[in-house]
């Protein structure tokens, strides 16, 4: 049994990862400050003797907190690091806060990992590190040039991982997520993913707003597939020192998505168009070669099934 620390484990992707780790019989400690994460996302874990929760901010002095966890639950063997400020527009409004949450928090965690001989860290990075002008599909060698403080901070942490690996032998894998969607993604926030927003509007027959002309594209990957990739990257020492894109390789336009959401929900929602959001990228899709080769990763949930599961969940939230 491996003891895995999941930072941000009460969040959208984190909580699905916790479910998977517990189902595999591992011991899990979640560290989350509940700033955007929700205990409701972990309700199903309550009473599981292998599940532990600590409310703490990763950017505070977490070493003492984690020492206490280790004393009670046992040493932390591996870490999955999700805890972050995840809204790109917020990072543009307040870059310094983004550095605190996303860089300082990560460095504190890496310090803990090296001092306590943690076997491996899997880090949730982002496709936001890529240059908007990089030809699509992007691959892990595509040029990086982030368009937001959020993307800069994710890239900085990738450099820290490399530094800790080279100087201290810390093992790691960084996963650059494309657009993740699925149940538990907040559908009410303006900063949320487009799929949860569109399905929420479609299910409630309220207007859908498409920014720009809607011909921009994204590579949408279902949350349990992402959780599986991250879990494998964390538990398996293979893919150490690697950066791997996690997506599906399929490019979907926002216009197509809006129509699918309306059809699927049998909705009377009306679509309207608004100016492009500042910093929005035009096309985003990844190659899958590296994820396939190093993590044996292939998405299991089709887009149609993923949308249907997400719509069911959105309806429970209305
Ligand atoms: C996603 C991630 C972000 C970062 C980035 C990397 C989410 C929520 N954000 O940002 O964290 O990793 O990818 O490139 O997953 N849109 C509409 N109407 C709406 C909402 C959105 O037209 O009501 C459009 C939006 O203008 C954009 C597309 O949908 O063109 C996707 O927007 P998003 O916020 O879901 O994700 P993105 O790609 O900006």
User: Residues with catalytic annotation?
Assistant: 150
Q: Assess whether 236 and 187 both reside in one domain.
A: no
Q: Comparing C-alpha atoms, which of 107, 236, 82 is closest to residue 173?
A: 236
**Structural contact between residues 92 and 149, judged by C-beta atoms closer than 8 angstroms:** yes
Question: For residue 255, which phi and psi values (nearest 5 degrees)?
Answer: -60, -45
d(CA 3, CA 20): 13
**Structural contact between residues 175 and 123, judged by C-beta atoms closer than 8 angstroms:** yes
When divided into structural domains, the chain yields a total of: 2
Radius of gyration of the chain (CA): 19
Ligand 1 atom 39: the closest Cα is on which residue? 280
74 conformational bin, left if phi > 0, alpha if psi -120 to 50, beta if neither: left
pLDDT given at position 279: 74
Pocket (CB within 6 angstroms of ligand 1): 86, 88, 126-128, 179-180, 192-194, 197, 209-211, 216, 218, 254, 277, 280-281, 284
Domain CATH number, residue 266: 3.90.25.10
pLDDT given at position 17: 99
pLDDT given at position 264: 98
d(CA 170, CA 115): 10
Q: Assess whether 75 and 202 both reside in one domain.
A: no
Helix or strand run (H / E) with residue 275: none
Q: Assess whether 274 and 165 both reside in one domain.
A: no
Atom number, ligand 1, closest to the C-alpha of residue 274: 22
138 conformational bin, left if phi > 0, alpha if psi -120 to 50, beta if neither: beta
Tens-digit pLDDT profile for residues 149-192: 999 999 999 999 999 999 999 999 999 999 999 999 998 887 88
Q: Assess whether 127 and 175 both reside in one domain.
A: yes
How many whole angstroms from 193 Cα to the centroid of ligand 1? 6
Q: Comparing C-alpha atoms, which of 104, 222, 230, 87 is closest to residue 149?
A: 87
Mean pLDDT per 10-residue interval, the chain, length 318 residues: 97 98 98 97 98 97 95 97 95 96 98 97 97 96 96 98 98 98 90 94 97 98 98 96 98 98 98 91 96 98 98 95
**Structural contact between residues 269 and 208, judged by C-beta atoms closer than 8 angstroms:** yes
Q: Assess whether 38 and 71 both reside in one domain.
A: yes
Strand partners of residue 28: 4, 51
Could you tell me the two tokens for 76?
A: 């932390």
Q: Assess whether 116 and 243 both reside in one domain.
A: yes
How many whole angstroms from 194 Cα to the centroid of ligand 1? 6
Ligand 1 atom 3: the closest Cα is on which residue? 88
Q: Assess whether 243 and 104 both reside in one domain.
A: yes
How many whole angstroms from 109 Cα to the centroid of ligand 1? 28
Q: Assess whether 52 and 145 both reside in one domain.
A: yes
Mutate to test the pocket of ligand 1, among 194, 258, 314 (most ligand atoms within 8 A of CB): 194
pLDDT given at position 190: 78
Domain CATH number, residue 48: 3.40.50.720
DSSP-derived secondary structure for 39-95 = GGGGGGGTT-TTEEEEE--TTS-HHHHHHHHHHHH----EEEE--S---HHHHHH-H
Q: Assess whether 208 and 229 both reside in one domain.
A: no
d(CA 181, CA 119): 29
Q: Assess whether 239 and 256 both reside in one domain.
A: no
Alpha helices in the chain (DSSP H): 12-23, 62-73, 88-93, 95-98, 105-115, 149-168, 194-203, 223-235, 254-265, 289-295, 303-317
Q: Assess whether 190 and 63 both reside in one domain.
A: no
Tens-digit pLDDT profile for residues 24-69: 999 999 999 999 999 999 999 999 999 999 999 999 989 999 999 9
List the domain range (segments joined by +) for residue 149: 3-180+221-249+287-295
Q: Assess whether 151 and 7 both reside in one domain.
A: yes
């Amino acid at each position: 049994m491996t003891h895995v620390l999941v930072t941000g484990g009460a969040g959208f992707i984190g909580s699905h990862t916790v479910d998977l780790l517990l189902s595999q019989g591992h011991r899990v400690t979640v560290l989350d400050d509940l700033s955007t994460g929700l205990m409701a996302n972990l309700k199903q874990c309550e009473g599981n003797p292998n599940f532990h929760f600590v409310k703490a901010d990763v950017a505070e002095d977490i070493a003492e907190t984690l020492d206490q966890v280790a004393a009670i639950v046992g040493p932390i063997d591996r870490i999955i690091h999700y805890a972050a400020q995840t809204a790109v527009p917020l990072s543009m409004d307040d870059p310094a806060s983004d550095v605190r949450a996303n860089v300082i928090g990560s460095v504190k965690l890496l310090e803990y990992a090296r001092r306590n001989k943690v076997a491996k860290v899997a880090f949730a990075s982002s496709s936001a590190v890529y240059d908007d002008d990089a030809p699509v599909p992007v691959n892990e060698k595509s040029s990086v040039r982030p368009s937001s403080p959020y993307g800069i901070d994710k890239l900085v942490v990738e450099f820290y991982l490399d530094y800790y690996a080279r100087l201290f032998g810390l093992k790691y894998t960084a996963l650059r997520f494309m657009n993740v969607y699925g149940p538990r993604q907040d559908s009410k926030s303006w900063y949320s993913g487009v799929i949860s927003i569109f399905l929420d509007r479609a299910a409630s027959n309220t207007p859908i707003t498409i920014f720009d002309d809607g011909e921009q594209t994204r590579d949408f990957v279902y949350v349990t597939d992402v959780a599986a990739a991250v879990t494998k990257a964390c538990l398996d020492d293979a893919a150490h020192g690697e950066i791997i894109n996690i997506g599906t390789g399929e490019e979907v336009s926002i216009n197509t998505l809006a129509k699918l959401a309306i059809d699927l929900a049998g909705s009377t929602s009306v679509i309207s168009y608004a100016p492009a959001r500042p910093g929005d990228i035009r096309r985003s899709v990844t190659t899958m070669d590296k994820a396939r080769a190093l993590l044996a990763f292939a998405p299991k949930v089709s887009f149609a099934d993923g949308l249907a599961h997400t719509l069911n969940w959105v309806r429970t939230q209305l």
